[in-house]
Structure 1
Amino acid sequence: MAADSRSDRYSDSKSMSSLFSTRNTMPFKSYWILAFLLFSVNRCFADDDHEMEEFLKREYSLSKPYQGVGSSSSSHWDLMGDAMVTADQVRLTPDMQSRQGAVWSRMPCHLNDWEMQVHFKIHGKGKKNLNGDGLAIWYTKERMQKGPVFGNRDNFTGLGVFVDTYPNEEKHIEAQKKRYTPRTQRIFPFVLAMVGNGSIAYDHERDGRPTELGGCNAMVRNLKHDTFLFIRYIRRRLTVMIDIDGQHEWRDCLDLPGVRLPQGYYFGATAVTGDLSDNHDIISLKLYQLTVLRSKKEEAEEEEEITIPSVDNLDLLRLGEVEEGMSGIAIFFTVLFCMLGFIFLIVIGLVVYSHWNESRRKRFY
């Protein structure tokens, strides 16, 4: 690596020296154009890599050996429900029916930009689609409140990222002897995100479809390698990625701008089981503070204090989902109108041709 670094610096210095050696022969205008291009390239690389730094915030992080979690007053985390601490993980629920558990941060987070890396494991004896229900990672105003949304309260205020392992809507449709269309059917487990303002309910029967911001399928059960979830909030942009293939590579799941989350909320993780069950384990929650260089325009835009969680252009997002769901009907009517238009053109053509043929015969008389 050192040799490569030295060779790179040598190449750079050689390039710069050649640039300045030709300075006398290069036209003045061309020199400034080249200098501007070099400056622009440097800015692009700076925007991608060098303008952001991350720092682990231990007071908002949970990792081994979990000293005092849920029992010591010096711990930054509380346990709730059926959650328990072992040497290897914080087990939110055991592989037993009708259990729910949680771990919540005691300290509110006042960071502008942050990144949460979740090391988790979901495993149990149940076969595919015979397990449930899933776990959730939270950044919310409320904490330590039991409820139906993966072990947390409904009508929450803040952000929820859900790892849903049971297809409630699909089973409900199958019970009615209906079928999914290929466009709307999902493969479970499924990761999705939702922002609530305190009055929006999570639709459990439809697996959160009406209020979701987006998501992706994630086959996370009973894997022998580690599984990770990545949540980043920076410049009012929410990004969710997963690493579940054992390749140490992040895969995109959700990337949405215009997400407005207030400061001073709490991080937490919850899980729930019903008639079906799984072990839902948290191995670590690591929160990083992101230090980001902002332009004056961005600083001016973010001076406004956010008091209620919201998502910009949420109606347009919902409209896009409706249009996607109606695409089959839209294709049918498009084909129908094209066929009618084609028939109409043929009829017009025949009428015009008959009039032309009749007038042609009249010229011969």
Structure 2
Amino acid sequence: MATIVMKLNGTIYTTVMSLPYSPANKIRVSALLVLIFTFASISSGENTYEDNTYEFLKREYSLSKPYQGLGSSSSSHWEFMGNTMIMPEHIRLTQDLQSRQGAVWSRIIMCNSHPCYLRDWELRVQFKIHGEGKKNLNGDGLAIWLTKERMQNGQVFGNTNFFTGLSVFVDTYPNDDKQHERTFPFISAMVGNGSVAYDHDRDGRSTDLGGCAAHVRNVEYDTFLLIRYMKNRLTVMTDIEGKQEWKDCLDIPGVRLPQGYYFGISSATGDLSVCRSTLPSVDYRVDPNVHVEDEGRSFITTLFLFIVSVVVLVVVVVVILFLYNHYKENRRKRFY
């Protein structure tokens, strides 16, 4: 009696054959089972990869206190630059002084392994913007990045212009005095391709995807920002009123973000105004239940799995027919 179990695309197929025992039959069945189990291990390996990637990303892309040792060794997954100060309870990106810049950047590339099944993610940032300037005289603000570039100084909230990737800005100062339709501080998002500049003089109006007003300056309670990317949809929500409630800021479908980029958070103060930004925590999460595969690898992997499935099915059918004919031949010989 030989039982062959095969799992293809989540469906289990079982074949039971009554075969006379012989060394030759034992070798053939063993070879078949090795082939089937090898193929099954490829499928189960994908699930293991997803689980391991989920736990790795959740752990390595989050920042939580205490922060001692951040960026002080090559084993740290984050590093800082500029005027950033690492405190036990928070990270101070900029001080209450003019023309200061600071940033923290991940050293680990976001989902650079291939294949990568975890394209959907969520980032929750707890931040605080405060200073001694008058109303609307605190600048410039802070920005959260997922970009190809990292650890570069620049004029865009402490980071370089002409960036490639996503940025969510918390702009605290209106540079364009002629426009009064926005209330500052203002949260906006932009996707750069490396050749389009962020227009700082116009507060990024020509390139932003949308945004909302956010009264986050000099408040006594904690302020939070949520950035979610799921099924090519970018959502930004805020919890800035001390009510522990998320409110919609922007929701943009059809946003395509490549893989292999770095997370970062930067801040800058202006020439005529002062503001200091602190970062109590960054909580990175991935959704293990939703897998949006990269389009390039999806076709190749699907084609490969299809070919392997066809080959395995053909081998199974051929071996079963061969063993069945061999069995019938042995029974026929017994009658003579």
- TM-score normalised by structure 1 residue count: 0.63
Matched, 1:107 2:108: yes
1:348 paired residue number: none
1:268 paired residue number: 264
Matched, 1:134 2:141: yes
Distance 1:250 1:136 in 2: 19
More helix by share: 1
Aligned 8 A contact 1:239 1:256 in 2: yes
Aligned 8 A contact 1:68 1:74 in 2: no
The aligned runs of 1:197-276 (5 Å cut-off) are 197-275=193-271, 276=273
CA-based RMSD of the aligned residues comes to 1.7
The aligned runs of 1:55-94 (5 Å cut-off) are 57-94=58-95
Distance 1:258 1:304, change over 3 A: farther
Query: Deviations along 1:276-329, whole A, 9 cap, x unmatched?
Result: 1111111111110112346xxx76xx52369xxxxxxxxxxxxxxxxxxxxxxx
Provide the secondary structure at the position in 2 that maps to 1:292: coil
Distance 2:224 2:287 in 1: 19
1:32 paired residue number: none
Deviation at 1:193, TM superposition (A): 0.2
Distance 1:59 1:133, change over 3 A: same
The aligned runs of 1:135-214 (5 Å cut-off) are 135-170=142-177, 173=178, 180=179, 185-214=181-210
Deviation at 1:94, TM superposition (A): 0.3
Matched, 1:291 2:288: yes
Query: Deviations along 1:44-90, whole A, 9 cap, x unmatched?
Result: xxxxxxxxxx8671211111011311212221111100001012211
Distance 1:224 1:72 in 2: 34
Deviation at 1:258, TM superposition (A): 0.6
Q: Number of paired residues?
A: 237
Distance 1:232 1:246 in 2: 21
Provide the secondary structure at the position in 2 that maps to 1:229: strand
Distance 2:166 2:232 in 1: 13
Aligned 8 A contact 1:67 1:75 in 2: no
Distance 2:185 2:81 in 1: 25
Distance 1:185 1:269, change over 3 A: same
Distance 1:125 1:85, change over 3 A: same
Distance 1:281 1:168, change over 3 A: same
The answer to which of 200-209 and 84-93 deviates more is 84-93
Distance 1:208 1:303 in 2: 31
Aligned 8 A contact 1:140 1:266 in 2: yes
Provide the secondary structure at the position in 2 that maps to 1:57: helix
- TM-score normalised by structure 2 residue count: 0.68
The aligned runs of 1:30-69 (5 Å cut-off) are 57-69=58-70
1:281 paired residue number: 278
Opposite residue 172 of structure 2, the aligned amino acid is: T
Matched, 1:124 2:131: yes
2:303 paired residue number: none
Opposite residue 129 of structure 1, the aligned amino acid is: N
Distance 2:138 2:129 in 1: 10
2:97 paired residue number: 96
Distance 1:207 1:130 in 2: 15
Provide the secondary structure at the position in 1 that maps to 2:71: coil
Q: What runs of 5+ residues in structure 1 fail to find an aligned partner?
A: 1-53, 174-179, 307-365
Aligned 8 A contact 2:68 2:87 in 1: no
Opposite residue 72 of structure 1, the aligned amino acid is: S
Aligned 8 A contact 2:68 2:86 in 1: no
Opposite residue 261 of structure 1, the aligned amino acid is: L
Q: What runs of 5+ residues in structure 2 fail to find an aligned partner?
A: 1-53, 112-117, 299-336
Distance 2:71 2:219 in 1: 28
Deviation at 1:93, TM superposition (A): 0.3
Distance 2:146 2:230 in 1: 14
Distance 1:304 1:258, change over 3 A: farther
Opposite residue 274 of structure 2, the aligned amino acid is: S
Distance 1:281 1:233 in 2: 24
Percent of aligned pairs sharing the same letter:
64
